[in-house]
Structure 1
Amino acid sequence: MTVLLVAVGAAVGAPARYLLDRAVQSRHDSVFPWGTCVVNVLGCFLLGVLTGLPSALFALLGTGFCGALTTYSTFSYETLRLLQLRAWLMAGLNVVVSLVAGLGAAYLGMALVS
């Protein structure tokens, strides 16, 4: 049953990631990956909020939805792409902003429900 809950959450989270990423990125004329940054920070916040849920609900929303919404692989790829383009500042900013904002968002989410 838990695997099904994770799959259902992921089936909603993955398209949500794609649509939100495209919506955010289309509003910026920059090599900085704003879309990925926004979905990852939002996912960190949501996961922080969801930490106290019962295990079945956490499997659906935390592991399934947030797991599919956020994307470490795309973050890594986009950072490497920026390095290949010699956009050193943007690559460094992507790493720092993603880590600091992600950790801050997760902390804020947890603090809101504590």
Structure 2
Amino acid sequence: MEKVLLIGIGGFLGSVARYLISGYIQDRTGEIFPFGTLAVNVIGCFVIGGLSELAEARAFLSPETRALVVVGVLGGFTTFSTFGNETVNLLRDGEWAFAVMNLLTHAVLAIGAVWVGRATAHAVWR
């Protein structure tokens, strides 16, 4: 039951952070392309990459900390369900180029961010 509570607390914190950060970025970049969602997904992927490297290389996270941070905070922070919905909305609205751009930039930048996060953690905390 303790892990469930930790995940819930982390999910709350991650969701609030997602709302604030994605809204801030979206307000400054325009209305059509969902840059706010892209930003939180790339940030979340970078962080999970770094934490995964540390967890594997140094046994960095206890099961409780993993539940709080990885499952809770990052689960609430990253927004792939929102990404999917926004992509479908772009398609529905006839914005095919933006839909394809959204799909490709998320895939390339998010996977790249996981790799960079892992490489950064490895370089810093060998």
TM-score range, shorter chain: over 0.9
Is 1:76 equivalent to 2:77 in the alignment? no
Structure 1 consecutive aligned stretches of length 4 or more whose deviation exceeds 3 Å: none
Counterparts of 1:54-65 in structure 2, within 5 Å, are 54-65=62-73
Distance 1:79 1:18, change over 3 A: same
Q: Would the aligned equivalents of 1:50 and 1:58 in 2 still touch at CA under 8 Å?
A: no
5+ residue gaps, structure 1: none
What is the identity, as a one-letter code, of the residue corresponding to 1:101? L
Residue by residue over 1:10-29, the C-alpha shift from the partner in whole angstroms, topping out at 9 and shown as x without a partner, is: 11000110011110000012
Give the counterpart of 1:110 among 91, 110, 118.
118
Match of 2:37 in 1: 36
TM-score normalised per structure 1: 0.95
Residue by residue over 1:61-93, the C-alpha shift from the partner in whole angstroms, topping out at 9 and shown as x without a partner, is: 111000000111110110011111111111001
Give the counterpart of 1:92 among 87, 90, 100.
100
CA-based RMSD = 1.0
Identity of aligned residues (%): 39
Match of 2:58 in 1: none
Residue by residue over 1:13-70, the C-alpha shift from the partner in whole angstroms, topping out at 9 and shown as x without a partner, is: 0011001111000001241000000011111111111111232211111110000001
Match of 2:75 in 1: 67
- Equivalent position SS for 2:94: coil
What is the identity, as a one-letter code, of the residue corresponding to 2:13? V
Higher Cα radius of gyration: 2
5+ residue gaps, structure 2: 56-60
Q: Would the aligned equivalents of 1:82 and 1:88 in 2 still touch at CA under 8 Å?
A: yes
